[in-house]
A and B are shown apart, each in its own frame.
Chain A
């Protein structure tokens, strides 16, 4: 059952296992020194930036904060961010299920190569993820002449933003489902088929209920990255206010115009999204008894 542990993590009962064992604990002074140093690092590098976002956002008061959020260009950027995620997440959800079904429930040659290829987008710099679409769909790209003949714009327009968002979020759902479905084995599906269920019935009635929490976990992570992506989207966006700016790009524009309060106001919504993501993620981890693991790692 590699990758999926059955015990809950982060519980203090668990640490007591070490703390009560004289052979596995440090002197109290060393223990508190380690806790202090690691918590200072945690506060300086993780808590402080989070605090800075909200304090800078509210520096000019709630009135200015609210006005920055309902400003038409800001609202347009929220709409585009929601649109990009609404297209990218479901597509990568379907991809993740298909990939996990193929990899976890079947044996075939080249499986490991396929797993590595699925992971590729996490290894590629976001800037390159944007660049590749310019090479394919840009004016001087492979399909550039054909696209301009037919008056279709992909890069420096909304379709490019959506494509770049899909690229950087491809692996999320697949990566969560593959180890989960491998650990669950194939017996339940085989039993359903022996009892006369069709393939689709087996998937919807047996597999899907078994993977629903893992699926939600992958979707939550995928959505967080889709809504927050900056580098890839920045390359293919035309940076046209109110038209091709997602929320992170709107943050950049406002910041570069020295409109700091407004930049941090929009940023604070993204920070709230991050916190909500972490809460849902943590709840699912408790439910699944999932081991902590690096997310979005190259």
Chain B
């Protein structure tokens, strides 16, 4: 804020920043560093052979592939949901809006067993899909379904505020220049939503890659087929292969850190775009 700023500094800086850094180091940073320190017990070639073992590679393919697919599906339906919530009025809208965050609030284990009950061969939806030859539960498709569920809020909640703040003048200008509604949406509105859509996609993807609870019940967990990477870590731990578990965890952590930086960049872009779009 421009103007005269009192030179006085608010008290408590040393205490608050000191406590913040101390607490964060104790709970998060030092324990996380253990992953890299423990991984260093392996020689580079040993590390490489652990993290590129066929069963581990198959788990990356499933985890990243299913996460990409689920995030892409969430971009489409998340955009439609955000559009519906911002632009249309209909009965029950407030309840729908509040329930969008259910995947956050509902514990993942609960979501996992509920989705399995729905999509199992004798389940509410599964019993209609199975005769058609579509098996969802205990297949990679089940993994995608669980990851769609947990990713729903991210796209909706990143697009919603941007769509809400979007100036109608742009659409009015396009319409007055003779654009059809579809042209206006495609050429004017969607480009302005692009940063938010991409941010939501990246968040849904990043969350899906690390997801465990909602997936393991519905996945079937067959090695090479429906085994996600976090489960590989658990399996190795149960076999007391701590170094192996840690090596795979180190790979996941590096991917997560990269995604975190990408998301931070995207959010900065969204904020800039949003400001200039007003």
**Of the candidates B86, B237, B256, which one forms a contact with A125 in the assembled complex, judged by CB atoms under 8 Å apart?**
B256
Inside 8 A of B90's CB, which chain A residues have their CB?
35
With A53-B114, A127-B212 known to touch, is A134 a contact of B99 (CB < 8 Å)?
Answer: no
Mark contacts of B173-217 with chain A using CB atoms, 8 A cut-off: 1 yes-contact digit, 0 otherwise. Answer: 011100001001100000000000000100100110111110001
- A23 adjacent to B175 (CB under 8 Å): yes
**Of the candidates A22, A120, A294, which one forms a contact with B32 in the assembled complex, judged by CB atoms under 8 Å apart?**
A120
- A24 adjacent to B11 (CB under 8 Å): no
Distance A25 CA – B231 CA, assembled complex (angstroms)? 47
Q: Does B28 have its Cβ within 8 Å of any Cβ on chain A?
A: yes
**Of the candidates B20, B89, B101, B212, which one forms a contact with A95 in the assembled complex, judged by CB atoms under 8 Å apart?**
B20
Measuring CB to CB, which residues of chain A are less than 8 angstroms from any residue of chain B? Answer: 2, 5, 9-10, 12, 14-19, 21-27, 30-31, 34-35, 37-39, 41-42, 44-50, 52-53, 56, 91, 94-95, 98-99, 101-102, 105-106, 108, 114, 116-121, 123-128, 131-136, 138, 140-142, 163, 166-167, 170, 185-186, 189-190, 193-194, 199, 202-203, 221, 224-225, 227-231, 234-235, 247-249, 251-252, 255, 260, 263-264, 267, 270-271, 273-275, 277-279, 281-282, 291-298
Inside 8 A of B253's CB, which chain A residues have their CB?
124, 128
Inside 8 A of A297's CB, which chain B residues have their CB?
154, 203, 207, 263
**Of the candidates B8, B107, B157, which one forms a contact with A248 in the assembled complex, judged by CB atoms under 8 Å apart?**
B107
Min distance, Cβ B153 to any Cβ of chain A, angstroms:
6
Distance A291 CA – B271 CA, assembled complex (angstroms)? 14
11 pairs from A and B in contact (CB 8 Å cutoff):
A25-B87, A39-B84, A98-B16, A127-B212, A135-B31, A136-B30, A167-B31, A190-B10, A278-B105, A297-B263, A298-B263
- B27 adjacent to A163 (CB under 8 Å): yes
Inside 8 A of B233's CB, which chain A residues have their CB?
125, 127-128, 131
With A22-B175, A123-B257 known to touch, is A292 a contact of B102 (CB < 8 Å)?
Answer: no
Distance A91 CA – B259 CA, assembled complex (angstroms)? 28
Distance A26 CA – B158 CA, assembled complex (angstroms)? 22
Inside 8 A of B45's CB, which chain A residues have their CB?
none
Q: What 3 A-B pairs come out closest when comparing CB atoms?
A: A228-B107, A125-B210, A12-B89
**Which partner residue on chain A sits nearest B203 by CB separation?**
A297
- B260 adjacent to A298 (CB under 8 Å): yes
Which residues 132-185 of B have a CB within 8 angstroms of A?
Answer: 148-149, 152-154, 156-158, 160-161, 164-165, 168, 171-172, 174-176, 181, 184-185
Inside 8 A of A277's CB, which chain B residues have their CB?
105
**Which partner residue on chain A sits nearest B21 by CB separation?**
A114
Distance A263 CA – B34 CA, assembled complex (angstroms)? 35
Residues of B within 8 Å of A, CB-based: how many? 111
Inside 8 A of A17's CB, which chain B residues have their CB?
168
Distance A234 CA – B233 CA, assembled complex (angstroms)? 12
**Of the candidates A10, A136, A138, A228, which one forms a contact with B108 in the assembled complex, judged by CB atoms under 8 Å apart?**
A228
Distance A248 CA – B217 CA, assembled complex (angstroms)? 13
- B242 adjacent to A24 (CB under 8 Å): no
Inside 8 A of A45's CB, which chain B residues have their CB?
148-149, 152
**Of the candidates A42, A99, A133, A193, which one forms a contact with B10 in the assembled complex, judged by CB atoms under 8 Å apart?**
A193
Q: A117-B24, A202-B10, A230-B109 are in contact. List 4 more A-B contacts (CB 8 A).
A: A2-B275, A10-B94, A56-B117, A297-B203
Measuring CB to CB, which residues of chain B are less than 8 angstroms from any residue of chain A? Answer: 1, 6, 8-13, 15-17, 19-21, 23-24, 27-32, 34-35, 38, 77, 80-81, 83-90, 93-94, 96-111, 113-115, 117-118, 124-125, 148-149, 152-154, 156-158, 160-161, 164-165, 168, 171-172, 174-176, 181, 184-185, 200, 203, 206-207, 209-213, 217, 230-231, 233-234, 237, 242, 245-246, 249, 252-253, 256-257, 259-260, 263-264, 271, 275
- A34 adjacent to B102 (CB under 8 Å): no
- A271 adjacent to B87 (CB under 8 Å): no
**Which partner residue on chain B sits nearest A199 by CB separation?**
B11
**Which partner residue on chain A sits nearest B115 by CB separation?**
A49
Inside 8 A of A10's CB, which chain B residues have their CB?
85, 93-94, 97
- B213 adjacent to A35 (CB under 8 Å): no
The secondary-structure label for the interface of chain B is helix
Inside 8 A of B10's CB, which chain A residues have their CB?
105-106, 186, 189-190, 193, 199, 202
- B32 adjacent to A124 (CB under 8 Å): yes
Min distance, Cβ B34 to any Cβ of chain A, angstroms:
4
Inside 8 A of B257's CB, which chain A residues have their CB?
123
Inside 8 A of B184's CB, which chain A residues have their CB?
23
Min distance, Cβ A233 to any Cβ of chain B, angstroms:
10
Distance A45 CA – B106 CA, assembled complex (angstroms)? 13
**Which partner residue on chain A sits nearest B155 by CB separation?**
A294
- B8 adjacent to A190 (CB under 8 Å): yes
- A34 adjacent to B84 (CB under 8 Å): yes
With A48-B118, A298-B256 known to touch, is A230 a contact of B101 (CB < 8 Å)?
Answer: no
- B106 adjacent to A106 (CB under 8 Å): no
